[in-house]
Structure 1
Amino acid sequence: MTKKVKSAKHVSEFESIFKCPMCEASMKVFELKSFICSNNHTFDFTKQGYLNLTTHPMKTKYSKDLFKARRKLIAEDTFFEPLIQAFAEMIKRQADIKRESLFILDTECGEGSHLANICDKVGSDFENTVTGVGIDISKEGILAAAKNYTNQIWTVADLANTPFKDKRFDVILNILSPSNYAEFNRLLRADGFVIKVVPRSGYLKEIREALFDKSAKQDYSNIDTIDRFNENLPIVDRLRVQYTRELNNLSMQSLVQMTPLTWIANEKRIKSFLERDSVEITVNLEILIGGKIS
C-alpha cells in the first residue's frame, strides 16, 4: 500500500472532523485520491501521504534542512525526552482515559516528532484509539512528518483558518509556537484542554550567551505570554521542566540549525560556538494546561 493510499484510508475514518477551508462544507475522501467537499472544492492527497488544505501560498523561513536537524535532535538524540514524558503524564492526569478515543491536535507541528512520541506514550494507557493530527504552514515540515510517521494525519494548514469542525479535539498542543486562542476555543470539546509550552529565562542560555552581547536576546521573560494564555484559557495545571543535556558537536550543529536564535546572530559567533567539541545545554520550559472557556 502506498503512503498516498494509506493516508487516504486513514483520513476516511475521520472525515467527520474536517470542514472545507474554502466554504466550511463537510468533506469526503474520493477514490482514495482526493478530499472533496460537498461544494466540489478538491484537495489531492500527495504521494508522500499528507494533505495541503491551505487556500493560498504560505511563506515560511523554515527549511528542509531545519526540519532534518530538528528530527535528529528530537527523535535520534532524544533531546526533549523529559518534556515528552511530562506531556504524557499531564494528559493522563487531565483526560478521562476511559473514553473511547482521544483526539490530539498539534498546531505548528513541524516535522511531527513531538506529536508522534506523545501519541505513542499516551496511547499505551488508553484502551482505545489515540488519534494524532498535525498541522503546520510549512510544507517541508509536513512532508517530513508524513515521511517518518504514518500513523498520524498530517496537513498543511493555516492556524488562522484550520480545516476542522467545531468541538472535535480533546487536546491541543501548542509547543514553543504562536497561539490562536479563538481557534483553540472553537476546536476544543467541552472538557478539552490546551497544553502550551513557553520558554523560561534559562532556556538555551548557553547559546544566547555565546551568540549575543548583554541584551534582550540573553534574557527572556514569559510573564506576558502566560498572562495572555490565562486570560483566554484559564490555567488548571502547570509544570516547570528543567534539565541539562551534553551535546556532541554533531548534535550542536543540529541545535544551531533548528533554532531561530541563529537567524539574527553574527556568523563569526556561530562559527566560534560550533568549534567546541561538546557543550552542556539547558532546557528550561514551562508547561501550561488551560481549560476551555464556557
Structure 2
Amino acid sequence: MNKRMKSAEYLSNFESMFKCPICNSSMKVFELKSLICLNNHTFDFTKQGYINLTTHMVKTKYSKDLFEARRKLIVEDSFFKPLSAAIAEMINKHATKKEALSLIDMGCGEGSHLSNISDIIRSEYNKITTGVGIDLSKEGILVAAKNYTNKIWAVADLANTPFQDKQFDIILNILSPSNYEEFNRLLKADGLVVKVVPQSGYLKELRAVIFGKPEKQSYSNVDTVERFNENFQLVDSSRLCYTVTLDNPSIQTLVQMTPLSWSSTAGQVTSFLKADSAEITVDLELLIGKK
C-alpha cells in the first residue's frame, strides 16, 4: 500500500466525524482514494497522505521552507519541548477519567506540536490518542503528512471545519488565531480547549533586533486572554518561561521560521544571524477552558 492508501485506510476508521464542507452531509472513504459525501462532493487524498477539504484556492504567506525550519527548531533543537510537556500534563490533569482522547490542533502548521503532545499523552499517561491536524496552509499540512503517520492531516478552513458537532475531547490552539464559534461547535460537552498565547518576553532578543522602538519590542496579549475568558470558563492557566541556547545554524532557522522577520530588513538581522550562539527567551501563557 502506498502512503495515499494507508492514510485513506486510517481515516476510514474515523469517517463518521466528517461532514462535507460544501453541503454538510456525512462522508465516506471511497476505494481508498477519496472522501465522498452523500451528494457526491469528492475530495481526493494526495500522494503525501493528506486531504484538502477547502472549497476554494487559498494562498497564504507561509512557505514550505518556513514550515521545514519550524519543524527543525521543534524536533532537532527541542525549542518547544517544555511546552509540549506542560500541555500534556495539563490535559492529563483535567481529563484523568478518560482512557482515550480525540485531539484536534486548529492551525497545526507542520504538525510537530500535535505529534509531540499525542506521544507524551500516550507514553507517559497511557491514554489512547486520535490526532487531527488542520491548517489553511497546504505547505504546512504537506510537511506534517510527510513526517507524521497515523494522524489525520487536512487543509481546511478554521471558520468552516469539515467535522460534525461535538467530536473532540481536546482542541489545541497554539500560537495561532482562534475561531471560538467553531471551537464551541466541535468540542464535546466535557471537552477542553488549550490555547497558548505569547507573553511579553517571547523572542524578546529577536524583537530587540527587528523593532527599534521599545513599545514594539514588548507587547501585551490582554485582549486575547479576555476574549478567551468571554467564550470559555477558565479552569486552569499557567505561565511558562524559559530560555533556549541556539547555535548559529539554529539562529538562522529561528529567523526563517518566525513571521516577525517579515517586517525586518536584511540589514536589521545581519548581525543577529552572524552570532555564534544566542540565548532566546520563550515566554508563553497556557489557558485551559471548558464550555
TM-score category of the 2 structures, normalised to the smaller one: over 0.9
Name the residue aligned to 1:184.
183
State the alpha-carbon separation in 2 of the partners of residues 264 and 127 from structure 1.
44
Q: Residue type matched to 1:30 in 2?
A: F
1:129 offset after TM fit, Å? 2.6
Name the residue aligned to 2:26.
26
State the alpha-carbon separation in 2 of the partners of residues 215 and 281 from structure 1.
18
State the alpha-carbon separation in 1 of the partners of residues 155 and 87 from structure 2.
24
1:148 offset after TM fit, Å? 0.2
What secondary structure, in the 3-state scheme, does the structure 2 residue paired with 1:274 have? helix
Name the residue aligned to 2:265.
266
Q: Residue type matched to 1:214 in 2?
A: K
What secondary structure, in the 3-state scheme, does the structure 2 residue paired with 1:263 have? helix
State the alpha-carbon separation in 1 of the partners of residues 98 and 42 from structure 2.
37
Kindly indicate whether the alpha-carbon contact (under 8 Å) linking 1:84 and 1:114 is maintained by their aligned counterparts in 2: yes
Name the residue aligned to 1:61.
61
Name the residue aligned to 1:76.
76
What secondary structure, in the 3-state scheme, does the structure 2 residue paired with 1:217 have? helix
What secondary structure, in the 3-state scheme, does the structure 2 residue paired with 1:109 have? coil
Name the residue aligned to 1:36.
36
1:97 offset after TM fit, Å? 4.2
Could you list the structure 1 runs, at least 4 aligned residues long, displaced by more than 6 angstroms after superposition: none
**Number of aligned residue pairs:** 291
Name the residue aligned to 1:252.
251
1:201 offset after TM fit, Å? 0.3
State the alpha-carbon separation in 1 of the partners of residues 61 and 98 from structure 2.
41
Name the residue aligned to 2:231.
232
Q: Residue type matched to 1:62 in 2?
A: Y
What secondary structure, in the 3-state scheme, does the structure 2 residue paired with 1:54 have? coil
**5+ unaligned residues in a row in structure 2: which ranges?**
none
1:215 offset after TM fit, Å? 4.0
Kindly indicate whether the alpha-carbon contact (under 8 Å) linking 2:121 and 2:127 is maintained by their aligned counterparts in 1: no
Name the residue aligned to 2:49.
49
Kindly indicate whether the alpha-carbon contact (under 8 Å) linking 2:245 and 2:279 is maintained by their aligned counterparts in 1: yes
Q: Residue type matched to 2:166 in 1?
A: K
TM-score normalized with structure 2 length? 0.98
- After TM superposition, the structure 1 = structure 2 runs for residues 1-294 of structure 1, keeping only pairs within 5 Å, are 1-99=1-99, 101-125=100-124, 127=126, 129-292=128-291
State the alpha-carbon separation in 2 of the partners of residues 47 and 68 from structure 1.
19
Q: Per the alignment, do residues 171 and 98 of structure 1 end up closer, same or farther by CA in structure 2, a change over 3 Å counting?
A: closer
State the alpha-carbon separation in 2 of the partners of residues 125 and 282 from structure 1.
27
Q: Residue type matched to 1:146 in 2?
A: A
Q: Residue type matched to 2:183 in 1?
A: F
Q: CA RMSD in A?
A: 1.0
Q: Per the alignment, do residues 112 and 69 of structure 1 end up closer, same or farther by CA in structure 2, a change over 3 Å counting?
A: same
TM-score normalized with structure 1 length? 0.97
State the alpha-carbon separation in 1 of the partners of residues 213 and 156 from structure 2.
38
State the alpha-carbon separation in 2 of the partners of residues 91 and 124 from structure 1.
14
State the alpha-carbon separation in 1 of the partners of residues 111 and 273 from structure 2.
27
Kindly indicate whether the alpha-carbon contact (under 8 Å) linking 2:54 and 2:157 is maintained by their aligned counterparts in 1: yes
**5+ unaligned residues in a row in structure 1: which ranges?**
none
1:84 offset after TM fit, Å? 0.5
Q: Residue type matched to 1:107 in 2?
A: M
Quick one: percent identity of the two aligned structures? 67
| CA shift digits 1:128-158 (9 cap, x unpaired) | 5300000000101000000000121000000
Kindly indicate whether the alpha-carbon contact (under 8 Å) linking 2:84 and 2:113 is maintained by their aligned counterparts in 1: yes
| CA shift digits 1:62-92 (9 cap, x unpaired) | 0011011001000111110000000110000
1:275 offset after TM fit, Å? 1.0
